Amino acid sequence: MNDDDHSLLQRRRQVLGTGAPLFYEQPLHLVRGEGAWVFDADGRRYLDVYNNVPHVGHCHPHVVKAASRQLATLNINTRYLHGNVVDYAERLAATTDYDHAGVFFTCTGTESNELALRIARHVTGGTGIIASSVNYHGNSAVLASLCTAFPVPEPFPDFARLVQVPDPYRHRQGRSDAELASHYLDEARGAIASLEESGVKLAALLIDPSLANEGLPEFVPGYLTGLVELVRAAGGLVIADEVQSGFGRTGAAMWAHQYHGITPDIITTGKPMGNGFPIGSVISSYDVVDEFGRSANYFNTFGGNPVATAAAAAVLEVIENENLIANAATVGAYVQNRLTELMTRHEIIGNVRCRGMFFGLELVADRVSKNPSPLAGRIVNRMKDRGVLLSRIGPFDNILKMRPSMIFTFEQADILLAALDETLEEAAR
């Protein structure tokens, strides 16, 4: 950080507060982005392996052009007829498995999950929510109170229960997949029963099918489908939070729930949808959307406006034109293989996780105890010094989180992997 950056940081603290989060010990002052690259105020470039909001790359010209053109033409709410919102809603609906899907537009993932909860409560007549033990689904009063991924001031609500995040890396203890799934499902059964015993009727399971905030744990075949069955048997709906995992991120399908073999009752989206233009959505079967819309008079001032839907449509076009889901699969598989190779040289890597273009590297003190490594924070900062941006997640904040834009190339992957190799070697000294 130079003097100007220090001064900017000081001013920032004086108006946004000292708690306003910043990445890195020495915050990074970014001024420009292009594709997978971002540039700081001194002109230094960094490979962005963290930000999934610029889903098709920073400042993708097709998206910038579509949004800018519409900004100059008309930006108005959806209480007037406009082609953009209808065209885009149809395209979005067509990506799902519903025979006839309906769509609500929002501005953020928080708003999407709030709306999904309202719908689930309306449909079921219940209020109860099941979420994962390391969840974050939004910053509103209800969603924040559920949050267990980081501390929040609100008490955990009476209407919610948590199900333990599967973590076969730590919990397998010689058990087969079926035994492990059965173990987790027994716990989930207990959580659902506990709600019932408290007189709370279940409304929904709210879950990211990729368990991203949970640290992208290894899969336990049968677990997610079993959990969905339990929730449905108890009368609850299933909400798939695709805010991080959607739009082809897994490399296998448009939606993570398709990749994971479940059919949710409600899908919520956000972050990558408009490549940074604020837009989110709630997708469900048409009947549910139609009925809730009529009952609740749901309206969102900015949601689905012509600019937001122009940007979002452009994102879908880039995904298709540049074949980005296939790219997530091939580059993703390459990175996964290379990360697994790195394990042979770096004892600190306990476990490698991958969901298409989304990677987790669990760092451990040693491979026997599997205790979280205390070095993850330092490694994230040293990677930045080497010009590569990533972050960390998981219940112990020891899992390197890598979630580059969908245009990430083999060459860029090599830059990431070389920097990781050096940094992990340095950390072992």
Q: Which of residues 144-203 bind a second copy (CB under 8 A)?
A: 144, 150-154
Q: In what order do the strands lie in the sheet with 349-354?
A: 349-354, 359-363, 399-402, 391-393
CB of 188 to a second copy, least distance (A): 24
One DSSP character per residue, 299-319 reads --SSTT-HHHHHHHHHHHHHH
Binding mask 282-301 toward a second copy (x if CB under 8 A, else -) reads ----x--xxxxxxxxxxxxx
Residue 275 interacts with a second copy (CB under 8 A): yes or no = yes
| Minimum distance of a second copy from residue 63's CB (angstroms) | 8
Minimum gap (Å) between residue 261 Cβ and a second copy = 26
248 and 325 Cβ atoms separated by less than 8 Å = yes
Specify which residues 351 forms β-bridges with. Answer: 362
Give CA–CA dist 50/23, Å, rounded.
11
**Residues in region 88-127 near a second copy by CB under 8 A:** 89-90, 93, 100-104, 107-111, 114-115, 117-118, 121-122
21 binds a second copy (CB under 8 A): yes
Q: Among 128, 246, 270, 332, indicate the residue that binds a second copy (CB under 8 A).
A: 270
Termini Cα distance of the chain: 27
Closest approach of a second copy to the CB of residue 285, in Å: 11
Assess 314 for contact with a second copy (CB under 8 A). Answer: no
Residues 75-94, interacting with a second copy (CB under 8 A): 75-83, 85-86, 89-90, 93
How far is it, in rounded angstroms, from Cα 290 to Cα 229? 25
For residue 339, what are its two tokens?
Answer: 């990360």
Beta carbon of residue 316, minimum distance to a second copy (angstroms, whole number): 15
Size of the site for a second copy (CB under 8 A): 101
- Single-letter residue type at 60: H
Which range, of 141-149, 334-342, 354-362, 405-413, touches a second copy by CB under 8 A?
141-149
Q: Which is nearer to a second copy, 121 or 338 (CB)?
A: 121
Which residue is associated with the tokens 């962005």? Answer: 48
Lookup: tokens for 261: 């073999």
Q: Give the residue, chosen from 2, 42, 74, 345, that forms a contact with a second copy under the rule CB under 8 A.
A: 74
Contact 279, 66 (CB under 8 A): no
Minimum distance from residue 331 beta carbon to a second copy (Å): 22
Per the CB < 8 A criterion, the answer to whether 129 and 206 are in contact is yes
Contact status, residue 376 vs residue 397, Cβ threshold 8 Å: yes
Q: In what order do the strands lie in the sheet with 101-106?
A: 101-106, 280-285, 266-269, 237-241, 202-207, 128-132, 160-163
Q: Are 130 and 188 in contact (CB under 8 A)?
A: yes
From candidates 257, 271, 338, 355, binder to a second copy by CB under 8 A: 271
Q: How far is the CB of 152 from a second copy (least distance, A)?
A: 6
Q: Any contact of residue 239 with a second copy (CB under 8 A)?
A: no
Sign of the dihedral defined by the CA atoms of residues 374, 376, 381, 383, in that order: positive
Residue with Cβ nearer a second copy (19 or 174): 19
Q: How far is the CB of 133 from a second copy (least distance, A)?
A: 18
Q: Beta strands 202-207 and 237-241: pairing type?
A: parallel
Measured from the CB atom, the residue of 61 and 190 that comes closer to a second copy is 61
Please pick, from the candidates 22, 193, 326, 428, the single residue that binds a second copy as defined by CB under 8 A. 22
Amino acid letter, 81: L
Q: At closest approach, how far in Å is the CB of 205 from a second copy?
A: 16
Within residues 378-417, the interface with a second copy by CB under 8 A covers none
| Contact call for residues 45 and 56 (beta carbons, < 8 A) | no
Q: Pick from 23, 169, 219, 334: which binds a second copy (CB under 8 A)?
A: 23
Instruction: Give the residue with the Cβ less far from a second copy, 144 or 365.
Output: 144
